[in-house]
Chain A
């Protein structure tokens, strides 16, 4: 039973990653692509982590996986912010 739920979560996570990658390839503008990548990929990673947490042997293991997701969340949000800010400044320069 746990395995079924785990597999569903992991497949859903991979689906979100696929959506993010399609967005990266097909969307017209930098800011739109940043949206697709950051949001879809982080949600995909969250679902993937949830699926893996169900498979962990003990609580500490699951908490470490959660920590990975939180760290990636913080880092990718900050990188998206930095990329967008840099692109914005590039635009404003004559």
Chain B
């Protein structure tokens, strides 16, 4: 690969990213800002791929660009309709008094100073020897971790405790969202074209998410990307007018949401009872345990992100158009449950 052309690509990509970020932040209109942010997310996925981080690129494309964008657009929908552009006042138009102008200058200088200090520290780090201690520890222990993808090994085995807490953060966020009341307004039933697209996209997305979960053990992928893809299937179905999008009824839904953290904790605590350290998988069962934990985490993440998009509690009964999707989703959940139960029995 020609190094000069790679540097040219880097410069162009970074200029576009900074330009898009600034355009998104400084745009007079909130709607434009959100759409530019989604475009920024896609360019960032490209940048993460260039930095040889394919897992992160997949997650950025699915979660950062896709689901964050969908969440922002759903929140935009609730804003009272303002016909005049620039009605959401940017800071520059609002600050006419000298005190406000001075505040803006002080904040700008402080942010620039912070960036300067951070940049200086980073240059010092790069000038020194490469920080390889953890990399060597990971490659030395990859054989007993149960998977061959180093990022999955770090996430689910070596730093599994962080992932447990992250799933707890997700659960906390969704509990907060559910506590705020009924969800956002639904969408009208889709016309024939969009309906056909939704019907063909949803099974494809479910298949892709199962594949991402499975392949995460030895190639870029994993529970988070899979959960986000599954949540995308739910978002598409909701946009096509199905109100309950085949989510299980209230009690089972809570079980699914808590299953990510719950299963992870259960595995960790039962390992404690067996005399091993907390979340210290025995090398022979590490692969199977990781797959089990990842499956529960995937369903949990998907349910959480879809409920975050809906914005609150679901109505108790869906409209009749929801039924085919309900049967499909419940079929997948009940098919996954005996599979999980079987693997746990063979593990213990």
Contact = CB atoms under 8 A, between A and B. Distances in A.
CB–CB under 8 A between A and B in the complex?
A: yes
15 contacts: A71-B201, A71-B204, A74-B197, A74-B200, A74-B201, A75-B197, A75-B201, A78-B193, A78-B194, A78-B197, A81-B193, A81-B194, A82-B193, A82-B194, A85-B191
Interface of A: 71, 74-75, 78, 81-82, 85
Nearest to A82: B194
Going nearest first, the 8 A-B pairs with the smallest beta carbon separation are: A78-B197, A81-B193, A78-B194, A78-B193, A74-B197, A82-B194, A75-B197, A71-B204
Contacts of B194: 78, 81-82
Contacts of A75: 197, 201
Contacts of B204: 71
Interface in B168-215: 191, 193-194, 197, 200-201, 204
A71 B200 CA distance: 10
A76 to B, nearest CB: 10
A78 B193 CA distance: 7
A56 to B, nearest CB: 16
A74 B200 CA distance: 10
A78 B191 CA distance: 11
B278 to A, nearest CB: 40
A13 B206 CA distance: 30
Nearest to B190: A82
B101 to A, nearest CB: 34
Nearest to B200: A74
Nearest to B191: A85
B209 to A, nearest CB: 14
B195 to A, nearest CB: 10
A36 to B, nearest CB: 18
A22 to B, nearest CB: 17
A70 to B, nearest CB: 10
Contacts of B193: 78, 81-82
Given A74-B197, A74-B201, 13 more contacts: A71-B201, A71-B204, A74-B200, A75-B197, A75-B201, A78-B193, A78-B194, A78-B197, A81-B193, A81-B194, A82-B193, A82-B194, A85-B191
A68 to B, nearest CB: 11
Contacts of A85: 191
Contacts of B201: 71, 74-75
Nearest to B236: A75
* Highest count of chain B CB atoms <10 Å: which of A74, A78, A82: A78
A65 B193 CA distance: 24
Contacts of A74: 197, 200-201
Contacts of B197: 74-75, 78
Contacts of B200: 74
Nearest to A75: B197
A42 to B, nearest CB: 15
Nearest to A71: B204
A71 B197 CA distance: 10
A66 B191 CA distance: 27
Nearest to B239: A82
A74 B201 CA distance: 9
B203 to A, nearest CB: 12
